[in-house]
Amino acid sequence: MDMMSLLFAGVLVSVAPQMPLSVATTDDALAVFANPAGLGMGRKSDFYYLYTHASSQSMRNHAVAANIGPLGAFWEPGSRFGFALGGGEDDMYAGIRVVRDSLTRFDLGALWRPWNYLSFGATWNDLGHDWGYVIAGAAVRPMWNRLTFSVDFMSTSWPDPIVGLETEPVDGLSIAARVRPRDMSFNAGLVIGLGNLSVGAVGTRVGSEVLDQVGGFVRVGVETRRSLVPKPKRFLELELKGRVADTRPGFSLMGSRPRRTTWQLLDLISDAKKDPGINGMLLKVEGFSAGFSQLSEIRAALADFRASGKQVVVYAPYLGVGSFYLASVADKVVGHPLGDVHIAGVSIQTLLLKGGLDKLGLKVDYQRRGKYKSAVETVAADSTSPENREQIEAFVDAVYDEFVGRSSEGLGMSRARFEEHVEHGFFMAHEAKQAGLIDTFCYDDELDDLLKEEIKGFRKVTEKRYLQSGDFEYGWKGPPRVAVVYASGSIASGESRTDFLTGDQTMGAKTMVRAIRAARRDKRVKAIVLRVDSPGGSGYASDIIWRELELTKEDKPVVASMGNIAGSGGYYIACGADRVFVNPTTLTGSIGVFGLKFVTEGLYNKLGIRRETFKRGERADALSDSREYTAEEDSILQLQVDWFYKQFVDKVAQGRGLSFEQVDSVAQGRIWAGTDAFEVGLVDSVGGLLAAIDWAKQQAGLEECELDFYPKPKRGFGPMARDLIAEYVLGLE
């Protein structure tokens, strides 16, 4: 809260203000009066009602002021009104203000905050009338944001400074004073903060008057400020529905758009953990889906939440393997009377198309390097190879072990006993309770009463309302940034895109290079986290992305966080990071290469279609689907595949600090679960996105940071308007 702004608001809105607000400190809705550049800080919505009584003039005045992010306005009934707009970022801001009274006046403002303890501001007022006048000011905070000194000068009365002091010794109780030494005019008062509500009173002496003006105000805002009254303890009610993904794909006809991102959920849990007003979390799980790797991240965040001394309660009408794995971390699991629990284990199916392709007359020509590189088996084999069977069995074992181990641990049940329940597989609610898989069951309308009986003083707040009341940022300068670069989808050349029909994402090398380069060149960004969720794709495109990350490592720490899958090209781009984090069930590795083409001549013959080829050059039609490779062509292409495999292994060896032979022994196209990849040295740490961000902060020497997400979405007026309303009006990120 800007105490100086509050103390002088009553003076300012009078007809002839004697002592202006500080142009160096005002940055919420009251910046419409003092310095429009302050609106560039992008505070969320605030509304002020201000009242002033001037005893010497027997005059009363009312005013209102409000802002929506960088847009602000004020109105003094029957007197004047104005609008203002601010902009800028990091430490430099500018603004413009238009005021209408008997004339139309234009003002400009500037604000510079090079450090959290120093601020400079200036306004050029009424510049259309005899060039107007200038107000300049500076402020310092020797004790962070609990003590502020300010000084302002006006060009029309130079040198005649106004000196200010503000202190908040106790949360929610601010005391401040401003004085003009020349004639000892002063202004003093106090503010009581109550979170989203503030009230205050101010008294002013101008010249020889004992108490010339008195006033008060009421503020209602979206952001929660420090409160004299402690926050009531509440449970955060969080509905887990729909699909969770790392990024939101573009529009498609058939693809399902995720309701939220992995980061949004992790960040919400992390914020609730730090919030002294939150003493528990109520998760309502229904129709919730996420990759098992993402579930492990969310579960770990909930476990950390519980470890801070807070409770987790889960209400779920039905639970499958993934949702049960997540729910097992809770203090209490409540089901529905007619619900069920299905925990029959983990399975993976492979699809082998060769028999069907043979019937259609389609053949496949391929080359590969890596005995485990199994992608070609889908179309070129009619049974699973021993090598592929080996790696799939190992991956299923890893997922099963994670599910059984964590779930039994969360239930406080022996692994052997829990595996007996897994063998049984399917439970109705009353059977699940009897088996110790859930604690009880009830209807949704009975849940609150049940929890009130068991949890003293149980109260709850919905996710929507909780997000609307984000905490006010008292700092003058935003903390340094860590960039999170999302590498999602199959890797290809060109721009990133979403398939119009299926919603499948493609990670374009051109888009990724542009994003990584922008993060590297941004001086505010101190470290980069590459979040990978990709099965791979083009080797050429992967190498372009890898190269840009190698250049970035020379300037800033680069850490990789693997999501559900980081295989083949997905591993290629991550392997050179300063540190690689993996979730326990991430599918990674697949360090291998293959090339493949369909030969359609048999299908054409079945359809009675003939093709004739006219060529110059013996191998001009070698890559065509009209014929198979000759033995010599196959040999040439196999040499190319072998060469690229060597480049792949060399890059992994370079990034991981291993020999070629060490990498080759665990490569060969084999997939690894995250925990196994850690054991063989392909990754550095088992942990999720939050752990990767914490490590990046440590490497950059940061205690706090803001996150900047890349690639940046394309902008237009429509998205900008929606973002403005969502962030500053509704309080949603």
Tokens of 282: 């109520």
Question: How far is the CA of 539 from the CAs of 243, 545, 587, 689, in angstroms?
Answer: 30, 10, 19, 26
Q: Do 522 and 435 share a structural domain?
A: no
Model pLDDT, residue 57? 58
Percent of the chain residues topping a pLDDT of 90 = 75
Nearest one of 320, 321, 393 to 350, comparing CA atoms? 393
The mean of the pLDDT values for the chain is 90
Sign of the C-alpha dihedral, residues 148, 154, 158, 160?
negative
Q: Where are the alpha helices (DSSP H) in 558-608?
A: 569-574, 601-606
Beta strand segments in 481-535, E: 481-488, 490-492, 497-498, 505-508, 525-534
Tokens of 716: 């237009």
Tokens of 205: 């002496």
Q: How confident is the model at residue 17 (pLDDT cuts 50, 70, 90)?
A: very low
Is residue 472 one of the residues assigned to a domain? no
CATH code for the domain in which residue 364 is found: 3.90.226.10
At residue 521, the 3 state secondary structure works out as: helix
Q: Token pair 């130079």 is at which residue?
A: 158
Q: Do 305 and 216 share a structural domain?
A: no
Model pLDDT, residue 183? 79
Quick: pLDDT tens for 628-652. 999 999 999 999 999 999 999 999 9
Is residue 555 one of the residues assigned to a domain? yes
> How many of the other CB atoms lie within 10 Å of CB of 354?
17
Q: How confident is the model at residue 58 (pLDDT cuts 50, 70, 90)?
A: low
Q: Do 266 and 203 share a structural domain?
A: no
Q: Do 454 and 568 share a structural domain?
A: no
Task: Please tell me the number of Cα atoms within 13 Å of 10 on its side-chain side.
Answer: 29
Torsion of CA 661, 663, 668, 670, to 10 degrees: 150
Q: Are 224 and 195 in contact (CB under 8 A)?
A: yes
Tokens of 8: 């002088």
At position 384, the amino acid (one-letter code) is T
Spatial distance between the Cα atoms of 218 and 201, rounded to a whole number of angstroms: 9
Is residue 612 one of the residues assigned to a domain? no
Spatial distance between the Cα atoms of 279 and 692, rounded to a whole number of angstroms: 26
Rounded average pLDDT over 420-449:
97
Q: Do 205 and 157 share a structural domain?
A: yes
Domain of residue 177 covers 3-221
Q: Do 449 and 309 share a structural domain?
A: yes
At residue 14, the 3 state secondary structure works out as: coil
Model pLDDT, residue 130? 82
Reply yes or no on whether the pLDDT at 1 is more than 80: no
Structural domains in the chain (count): 3
Q: Are 232 and 47 in contact (CB under 8 A)?
A: no
DSSP string, 685-697: EE--HHHHHHHHH
Last residue of a domain, one of 467, 492, 527: 467
pTM above the 0.75 mark? yes
Is residue 600 one of the residues assigned to a domain? no
Tokens of 598: 């369909």
Spatial distance between the Cα atoms of 357 and 101, rounded to a whole number of angstroms: 81
Q: Do 425 and 529 share a structural domain?
A: no
At residue 122, the 3 state secondary structure works out as: strand
Q: Known catalytic residue: 289?
A: no
Model pLDDT, residue 603? 93
Model pLDDT, residue 211? 60
Is residue 473 one of the residues assigned to a domain? no
Model pLDDT, residue 176? 85
Model pLDDT, residue 549? 98
Torsion of CA 502, 505, 511, 512, to 10 degrees: -170
Model pLDDT, residue 209? 56
Reply yes or no on whether the pLDDT at 72 is more than 60: yes
Quick: pLDDT tens for 585-625. 999 999 999 999 999 999 999 999 999 999 999 999 999 99
Model pLDDT, residue 56? 58
Quick: pLDDT tens for 271-294. 999 998 999 999 999 999 999 999
Torsion of CA 181, 184, 190, 191, to 10 degrees: -60
Q: Known catalytic residue: 373?
A: yes
Active-site residue, from 5, 150, 293, 568: 568
Active-site residue, from 373, 433, 526, 697: 373
Q: Are 340 and 312 in contact (CB under 8 A)?
A: no
Last residue of a domain, one of 432, 467, 502: 467
Contacts of 56 (CB under 8 A, 6+ apart): 209, 212
Reply yes or no on whether the pLDDT at 714 is more than 80: no
Q: Do 490 and 462 share a structural domain?
A: no
CATH code for the domain in which residue 97 is found: 2.40.160.40
SS3 content of the chain, % helix, strand, coil (to 5): 30, 35, 35
Q: Do 244 and 182 share a structural domain?
A: no
Q: Are 440 and 429 in contact (CB under 8 A)?
A: no
Reply yes or no on whether the pLDDT at 2 is more than 60: no
Q: Do 144 and 59 share a structural domain?
A: yes
Model pLDDT, residue 55? 66
Reply yes or no on whether the pLDDT at 59 is more than 80: no
Model pLDDT, residue 721? 53
Model pLDDT, residue 634? 95
Spatial distance between the Cα atoms of 451 and 98, rounded to a whole number of angstroms: 54
Model pLDDT, residue 14? 39
At residue 710, the 3 state secondary structure works out as: strand
DSSP state of 631: H
Last residue of a domain, one of 435, 467, 499: 467
Q: Token pair 């601020």 is at which residue?
A: 119
Model pLDDT, residue 717? 47
Model pLDDT, residue 250? 84
Spatial distance between the Cα atoms of 667 and 549, rounded to a whole number of angstroms: 22
Rounded average pLDDT over 581-586:
98
Is residue 604 one of the residues assigned to a domain? no
Q: Which helix (H) or strand (E) holds 273?
A: helix 262-274
Rounded average pLDDT over 664-677:
97
In the chain the first and final C-alpha atoms are separated, in Å, by: 21
Reply yes or no on whether the pLDDT at 535 is more than 90: yes
Q: Are 55 and 34 in contact (CB under 8 A)?
A: no
Q: Are 331 and 279 in contact (CB under 8 A)?
A: no
Q: Do 340 and 204 share a structural domain?
A: no
Torsion of CA 415, 419, 425, 428, to 10 degrees: -40
Is residue 27 one of the residues assigned to a domain? yes
Q: Is 294 exposed, middle or buried (0-12, 13-18, 19+ CB in 10 A)?
A: buried
Q: Do 525 and 497 share a structural domain?
A: yes
Model pLDDT, residue 720? 45
Model pLDDT, residue 16? 29
DSSP string, 231-247: PPPEEEEEEEEEEEESS
Q: Are 552 and 512 in contact (CB under 8 A)?
A: no
Question: How far is the CA of 405 from the CAs of 161, 328, 413, 584, in angstroms?
Answer: 69, 11, 10, 12
Q: Where are the alpha helices (DSSP H) in 13-106?
A: none
Cis peptide bond N-terminal to 142, omega within 30: no
Radius of gyration of the chain from Cα atoms?
32
Reply yes or no on whether the pLDDT at 469 is more than 80: no
Is residue 618 one of the residues assigned to a domain? no
Lowest mean pLDDT among 38-47, 252-261, 565-574, 610-619: 252-261
Task: Please tell me the number of Cα atoms within 13 Å of 543 on its side-chain side.
Answer: 10
